[in-house]
Amino acid sequence: MTRIHPTALIEDGAVVGEDVEIGPHAVVFRHVTIGPHCRIHTGAVIGDVPQDLAFKNVESFVRIGAGCVIREHVTIHRGTKEGTGTVVGEGCYLMAHSHLGHNVQLGRRAILANGVLLAGYVEIGDLAFISGNAVIHQFVRIGRLAMLAGLSAAAKDVPPFCTTRPVTLSCVTALNVIGMRRAGMTPTERAEAKEAFRLLYRAKLNVTQALEAIRGKFASGPAIEMCDFIAASKRGICRGDSPADDDQMADAE
């Protein structure tokens, strides 16, 4: 049963699915579709106009997938161009005061910790974890199962499975080994990702050479997923940090 708390505001035209709870002082604008089994907490604002001086009051939208949790004072803005929108995948968890700018695409079961700021047109892959107060520049892409550290910033793309170091800008430091294991990736798949990471960030190859080397060793799987992600990058990818500690790169069974 859907439950709307007193003082919540839902504009006429908004679509709210079954078994949704919307907390006090939350605002859901008319351009919003919320899937079933979502929990919207106090003070969240979903579907307001984008913070874009070029916005011309066109029709755009926000879509929230099933089973999402949107905590206190989260803000999610709709698309800035006609017929475009911000889309949150199923099972996402958006912690307090996180912000999704216009035209953000959030993959399935992504997690944004407190205070995360996503600028316009950011794309976040499935199962990515963005730690507290991290900031992501417009048009940046974050790959599947990547993990951004707290207080870090990304102005370039972060490849799948990679992690960043706290309080850094556009700097990859290791693989998200724990996240990959929890997601059910096999030892073979994790080893392939590890080898792709080594060729990309530790083998003293440029990006073109690294991609050629990876494609020469693997025909499919996580390594090729990383290659395809990088090949599609328009902003370039994050640079590598100094070699990670053995325990960061270890993939013990």
pTM: 0.93
Asked, for residue 50, whether it belongs to a domain, the answer is yes
Q: Which two tokens stand for residue 248?
A: 């960061």
Q: Point out the domain boundary residue: 81, 96, 124.
A: 124
30 part of a folded domain: yes
Enter the tokens of residue 180: 């990959």
pLDDT at residue 244, as a whole number:
47
Does a structural domain hold residue 154? no
CB neighbourhood size of 137 (10 A):
18
Q: Which of 86, 105, 124 lies at the terminal end of a domain, its last residue?
A: 124
Q: Is residue 118 part of a domain?
A: yes
Same structural domain, 114 and 188: no
pLDDT of residue 226: 98
For residue range 102-152, list pLDDT tens digits in order: 999 999 999 999 999 999 999 999 999 999 999 999 999 999 999 999 999
Say yes or no: 120 and 186 in one domain: no
The predicted pLDDT at position 245 comes to: 44
CATH number, domain of 209, equals 1.20.1180.10
The torsion angles phi and psi of 157, rounded to 5 degrees, stand at: -65, 145
CB-CB contact of 90 with 65 (8 Å)? yes
* 170 assigned to some structural domain: no
Are 187 and 120 part of one and the same domain?
no
In a domain, 156, yes or no: no
For the record, the structure tokens of 224 come out as 């090729």
Q: Judge if 8 and 102 occupy the same domain.
A: yes
Residue 84 is assigned to a structural domain of this protein: yes
Separation CA 176–CA 184 (nearest Å): 13
Q: Are 106 and 21 members of one domain? A: yes
Q: How many domains, the chain?
A: 2
Burial class of residue 237 in the structure, from the number of CB atoms within 10 Å of its CB (0-12 exposed, 13-18 middle, 19+ buried): buried
What is the pLDDT at residue 253? 39
- Both tokens assigned to 143: 């790959």
Residues in the chain, pLDDT under 70: 242-253
Q: Which residue has the tokens 């800008």?
A: 169
**120 and 196 housed in the same domain:** no
Supply the CATH number for residue 98's domain.
Answer: 2.160.10.10
Which helix (H) or strand (E) segment holds residue 171: the answer is strand 171-175
Please check whether residues 203 and 119 belong to one and the same domain: no
Select from 93, 109, 124 the last residue of a domain.
124
| Residue 162 placed within a domain | no
E-state strands within 39-101: 39-40, 45-48, 61-64, 69-70, 75-77, 85-88, 93-94, 99-100
At 126, list the tokens: 């499935």
DSSP symbol at 245:
P
- If asked whether residues 214 and 118 sit together in one domain, one would say no
Do 11 and 117 lie in a common domain?
yes
User: What range defines the domain where residue 32 resides?
Assistant: 3-124
Residue 116 and residue 161: Cα distance in Å, rounded?
19
pLDDT of 243 reads 61
Residue 80: Cβ within 10 Å count: 23
Query: For position 250, what pLDDT does the model report?
Result: 43
Q: Please give the C-alpha separations between residue 15 and each of 12, 28, 65, 78, 188, in angstroms, as whole numbers.
A: 9, 9, 12, 15, 44
* 16 and 119 fall within a common domain: yes
Q: Which of 133, 127, 128 is nearest to 113 (CA)?
A: 133
